[in-house]
Copies of this chain bind each other. A is one copy, B any other.
């Protein structure tokens, strides 16, 4: 069992309330929808976005009920995007638990995702903040546009700028929304909003870099999916970008690009193993840590308090996590 960290402890009651509110969204609708939502909520995750939202709101003495509603909206938005992502990727496991599309038809999976989007939007509206609604809708556009760009542009592109664009769309945009929206409904000053937005952005970037590192360094049991899964899909993340920069003439590197990122399984296995054991992993950790430094710097512009300490701890946890 994981030890309970301070950042979780400070808002553990609120997290339960968020999960209850999420589950309640299917009440009165089709029973299969209720079952699907229960399954998705039980397969859980770290609830990192609600944790951030709640801590930022608490730091600013925001209204607890509205913060719970906002956190549920954000986590449901995240959940809906995962439901459609897993279907698109044909992923059968997430966090070691069967995905919805593993047992449901594509039609039912698409519609369940749509329903969760609708309920996320409903909860966002219930924060009674027009600016929050706007940020929320824009973030969904950013996330989806990022995925579409990934579908339509060549997969086989080892480019650092595009990688940052991609992980902003995929992860940092919703982290940024978590902090910014919490600040907005808690009557933060413009300056506080600016620093908290920066905190969310940098934390999200670091979080995704660590995710991309763990995709190489973890094991199948912890990941709940095969190691090197991104590269197997032709998706080049930071560790691979840095490895290819360092070893452009490596046999496997050449094979990989010669076959448009879709080489033989043997080449892939060796490549994943080489990347795992290369300095690209440490270099990637250094990049993640530099973003964590920036995120903590941004945080230090806010008054010191328990919640700020907890957010700092959460930021450190992001780089130290192993799954």
A305 within 8 A of B: no
Interface residue A24 (Cβ < 8 Å from any Cβ of B): no
On whether the beta carbons of A140 and B118 are closer than 8 Å, the reply is: yes
A265 contacts B by Cβ under 8 Å: no
The listed residue (B118, B136, B145) touching A144 by CB distance below 8 A is B118
| Chain A: number of interface residues, binned into ranges | 35 or more
In the bound complex, do residue A115 and residue B133 qualify as a contact, i.e. CB atoms below 8 Å apart? no
| Copies, count | 2
| Minimum CB distance partner of A129 in chain B | B130
User: Is chain A's interface secondary structure helix, strand, loop, or mixed overall?
Assistant: helix
- For residue A130, give the distance in angstroms from its CB to the closest CB of chain B: 5
Chain B residues contacting A138 (CB-CB under 8 Å) are: 118, 122
For A128, what are the chain B residues with a Cβ–Cβ distance below 8 Å? 130
In the bound complex, do residue A148 and residue B88 qualify as a contact, i.e. CB atoms below 8 Å apart? no
CB distance from A164 to the nearest CB of B (A): 17
CB distance from A21 to the nearest CB of B (A): 15
CA A29 – CA B148 in complex, angstroms?
A: 9
Are B148's CB and A84's CB within 8 A?
Answer: no
29 A/B residue pairs, CB under 8 Å, sorted by A? A30-B145, A30-B148, A30-B149, A30-B152, A33-B148, A84-B110, A84-B111, A84-B114, A87-B110, A88-B110, A106-B106, A108-B151, A111-B144, A114-B117, A115-B141, A115-B145, A117-B117, A118-B141, A119-B137, A119-B141, A121-B140, A122-B134, A122-B138, A122-B141, A124-B133, A125-B136, A125-B137, A130-B130, A130-B133
